[in-house]
């Protein structure tokens, strides 16, 4: 045997075991698989959002009217909801104007219930339901169409016959 000098010893690296490296590599793989499993499980079992609450009969709000309009195919955005109200000489509550496909729908919601809505709507006619200076009414020669159901009176000014039919179905669908 030859004696080993110092330079030969420095050239030879000391052998360390690769067992710890393999252990941590395996642990990383196992944790990656567990994370993927948990992610997939959560995606599959994700809860669906709860349905919008339905109004009690005779207690509809503007949200219920908007949902009913959406249900018949009239899609409204925030820009379609005008941030003003309109007063009527015949209908007590203020009306909320909504831009609907070439027309304006005025929604009057009676908090006192359906009987007041029906009573006042019976006194209304297309010539007196809205003030002449409603301002947001489109220039049209068509007379306003009045729809009454539950505690809601809706007045459509302008719009096509298709839109009028959709509005009528939406108002009739209210509780």
| pTM score | 0.69
Note the pLDDT tens digit of each residue in 38-53.
998 888 887 887 777 7
With beta carbons less than 8 A apart as the criterion, state whether 151 and 57 touch. Answer: no
Domain ranges of the chain: 6-44, 62-172
Task: Name the E strands within 85-141.
Answer: 95-100, 103-109
Q: Is 113 left (phi over 0), alpha (psi -120 to 50) or beta?
A: left
> Could you tell me the pLDDT band of residue 108, with boundaries at 50, 70 and 90?
very high
**First vs last C-alpha separation in the chain:** 103
Domain 62-172 matching CATH 3.30.200: the answer reads yes
Residue 136 has pLDDT above 50, yes or no: no
Whether 165 has a pLDDT exceeding 80, the answer reads yes
Greater pLDDT, 41 or 14: 41
């Amino acid at each position: 045997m030859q004696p080993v000098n110092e330079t030969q010893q420095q050239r030879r690296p000391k052998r360390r075991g690769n067992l710890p490296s393999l252990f941590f590599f395996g642990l990383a793989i196992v944790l990656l698989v567990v994370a993927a499993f948990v992610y997939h499980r959560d995606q599959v079992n994700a809860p669906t959002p709860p349905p919008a609450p339905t109004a009690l009969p005779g207690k509809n709000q503007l949200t219920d009217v908007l949902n009913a309009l959406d249900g018949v195919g009239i899609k409204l955005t925030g820009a379609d909801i005008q941030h003003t109200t309109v007063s009527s000489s015949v209908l007590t509550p203020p009306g909320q104007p909504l831009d609907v496909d070439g027309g304006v729908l005025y929604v009057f919601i009676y908090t006192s219930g359906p009987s007041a809505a029906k009573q006042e709507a019976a006194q209304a006619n297309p010539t007196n339901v809205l003030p002449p200076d409603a301002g947001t009414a489109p220039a049209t020669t068509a007379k306003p169409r009045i729809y009454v159901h539950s505690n809601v009176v809706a007045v459509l000014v302008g719009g096509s016959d298709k839109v009028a039919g959709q509005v009528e179905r939406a108002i009739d669908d209210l509780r």
